[in-house]
Amino acid sequence: MDFVKKHRNLLGAGVIAAAIIAIGIGAYFTNREAPVFVEYAAFLEAMGEGRIASVQLNDGATLRFTFAESEATYTTNNPRRADFKEALLLAGINVTETTTAGVDFIALGVTVVLIGIVIFMVQRRSGAAMAKNGLNPVAVGIGEEAEAFPCNFESVAGNAEAKESVSDIVDYLRTPERFAKYGARMPRGILLHGKPGTGKTLMARAMAGEAGVPFYAVSGSDFVQMYVGVGAARVRELFAKAREHGKGVIFIDEIDALGKKRSDGANGNDEREQTLNALLTEMQGFSDTSGIVVVAATNRPDTLDEALLRPGRFDRRVEVGLPDINARKQILNLHAVNKPLAKDIDIEKLARDTVFFSGAMLEGLLNDAAINASRRNGESISNGDISAAYYTALAGAEKKDRTHRHQREREVTAYHESGHALAATLVNPENRVTKVTIIPSTGGAGGFCVTIPPERMYHTRRELEQQIIVNFAGRAAEELHFGTENITTGASNDIEKATDTILQYVTRYGFGSGLLDRSKLEEKTAIAEECNALAEKLYAQTRELLQKNYPALENLAGQLLAKETLDSEEIAEVIAQSPPCPYR
């Protein structure tokens, strides 16, 4: 290709001259008007939109096709892929086949020259140029723009923390100049992560709506089924379009389809890598006053390539969580606005019964109920309509015994997390337990407990022990309430953390026996024995602590089951109002 690059102009001129001659000869012999050539990318775009009526397949370099909206015949580059015909048929396109066997040399000459032209065009084209160079009768529409309906933070129920963490970006979108004046660098990319249907798209849309800037949406998976080079060109096009309008939010759903970790061994997917690189390059190219922000969404943040998360890329991560009971109530109320609900419908109860429903599921539930009501021509949406929709939704979920299983799981999670929260509060009053919840996050945990330890340069030996006790308290609470036989796998992450701390305690900090960096010594068994003894001692302390405060554990778990999420004040209040255990 080097030769081609260096002598591009010369080659180009030669190719064009040859093309003109060849097309002349071709036209002379075929005695037909030469059909207009359409870029292959544009052909695919039109195919995706169902606008191709028929295709004449052959094994030549180009193929002929017609659009649904006109009689004229066009040509495009022939991909000559084995599965191309099937793709066409599946898209409902009328396919005829002609063989080129026995074509004369002139036809062959024309073909060769056409390939030359295509190569030349491919060399020349850049994404933006492609849309504008007039060669392309089909406008390549990409990215939907802001819809008619207004969407702002009020359209997103719950998720107060997520809203809070993107609010400065909204300010930036409104007045990028103000931030630039102070030399502030705003994040160019924000990664929203959370389970499907939790409202990531909605949140991105709301950011654009709040700031009053256009919204462009694409999905990572749109890019990967394409042919090499097309995805990258589309990315450039998308950004060019956004830049034309000045400010905007570019939303990329399912970013993991593009930015998956490169698994070692397997050689990378060229198309994906090219597209990803194009994306990163475009993001790097923003000036600080551009007012364009890229928001990406994924439900698998752990699978993303590190390259995506580096500073200046998607360096702000915001979790969009499943709704807790209050948020579920809000979502239901939000989507009930235009629906005539019967008076006896209890949204509060429905919110309570829809644990682990995502926002999308709640919306679907009300919609199904509305469909049920309209089917039977009812006056309004009745409790019966809702409960039918509710059971359909449950059946649609993976397991039919979902609610049942979930009830038990919720209890286990409530005790487990209460154990962490209680131990953290009791072992050290300086620990701040800011939140405890039994609503799962993308991390996959059943629930979680956020503890902020006091910030210090050095930690005392007792502080490390306290940390381990807090880690162990989830398991200990399960054991105390449900019995040794019924402890669960839910503590694996805690055990991993405790193991790390214990190992450091013994080997690195010299808190165990001996003042040596024992990680450098060959005494694995001795270290393991010491770690084990320490773990056992601390686990016993954990159990004792929780036993002494068993009423507080019960109350916390009970409150968690009722409210699903407790903040620091609520936690402190429950603990303060619980008596110490009278029996132990």
Amino acid at position 92, single letter: G
Residue 249 interface partner, choices Zn ion, ligand ADP, none, CB cut-off 5-8 Å depending on type:
none
| Choice among 39, 271, 363, 417 that is catalytic | 417
**Exposure letters 66-75 (e unless 16+ CB within 10 A, then b):** bbeeeeebbb
Name the minimum Å distance from CB 151 to ligand ADP: 9
Name the minimum Å distance from CB 504 to Zn ion: 20
Residue 268 contacts ligand ADP per CB under 6 A: no
Residue 201 interface partner, choices Zn ion, ligand ADP, none, CB cut-off 5-8 Å depending on type:
ligand ADP
- Cβ(18)–Cβ(207) below 8 Å: no
Binders in 516-575 for Zn ion, by CB under 5 A = none
Q: Which is nearer to ligand ADP, 163 or 518 (CB)?
A: 163
Q: Which is nearer to ligand ADP, 309 or 360 (CB)?
A: 360
Residue 176 interface partner, choices ligand ADP, Zn ion, none, CB cut-off 5-8 Å depending on type:
none
Radius of gyration of the chain (CA): 31
Closest residue by beta carbon to ligand ADP: 359
Residue spans of beta strands (DSSP E) within 340-499: 432-437, 448-452
Closest by CA to 80, choosing from 52, 58, 105, is 58
Name the minimum Å distance from CB 221 to ligand ADP: 13
Q: Which is nearer to ligand ADP, 333 or 504 (CB)?
A: 333
Name the minimum Å distance from CB 188 to ligand ADP: 20
- Cβ(237)–Cβ(45) below 8 Å: no
* 417 annotated active-site: yes
3-state class of 133 per DSSP? coil
* Sole binder of Zn ion in the list 204, 474, 507, 566 (CB under 5 A): 474
Binders in 476-505 for Zn ion, by CB under 5 A = 494
Phi-psi region of 350 (alpha: psi -120 to 50; beta: other; left: phi over 0): alpha
Amino acid at position 136, single letter: N
Residue 197 contacts ligand ADP per CB under 6 A: yes
Residue 214 interface partner, choices ligand ADP, Zn ion, none, CB cut-off 5-8 Å depending on type:
none
Residue 199 contacts ligand ADP per CB under 6 A: yes
Handedness of CA 288, 233, 217, 441 (dihedral sign): negative
Segment contacting ligand ADP (CB under 6 A): 56-64, 135-143, 199-207, 465-473?
A: 199-207
Residue 116 interface partner, choices Zn ion, ligand ADP, none, CB cut-off 5-8 Å depending on type:
none
Which tokens hold the place of 467? 């940390």
Which tokens hold the place of 429? 């009053």
Q: Which is nearer to ligand ADP, 114 or 366 (CB)?
A: 366
Q: What angle do the packed helices 402-427 and 568-577 form, to 10 degrees?
A: 80
Binders in 1-60 for ligand ADP, by CB under 6 A = none
Residue 297 contacts ligand ADP per CB under 6 A: yes
- Cβ(240)–Cβ(197) below 8 Å: no
Q: Which is nearer to ligand ADP, 159 or 565 (CB)?
A: 159
Angle at alpha carbon of residue 475, lines to 473 and 479, rounded to 5°: 110
Closest by CA to 559, choosing from 423, 457, 422, is 422
Gap between the Cα atoms of 370 and 359, Å rounded: 17
Closest by CA to 255, choosing from 226, 273, 276, 232, is 276
Q: Which is nearer to Zn ion, 128 or 561 (CB)?
A: 561
312: how many CB neighbours lie within 10 A of its CB? 13
190: how many CB neighbours lie within 10 A of its CB? 24
Contact string (CB under 6 A) for ligand ADP, positions 320-359, x = contact: ---x-------x--x------------------------x
* Sole binder of ligand ADP in the list 75, 76, 78, 198 (CB under 6 A): 198
Residue 201 contacts ligand ADP per CB under 6 A: yes
Gap between the Cα atoms of 81 and 79, Å rounded: 5
Give the residue numbers marked as catalytic. Answer: 417
Interface residue list for Zn ion (CB under 5 A)? 474, 494
Interface residue list for ligand ADP (CB under 6 A)? 156-159, 194, 196-202, 297, 323, 331, 334, 359-360, 363
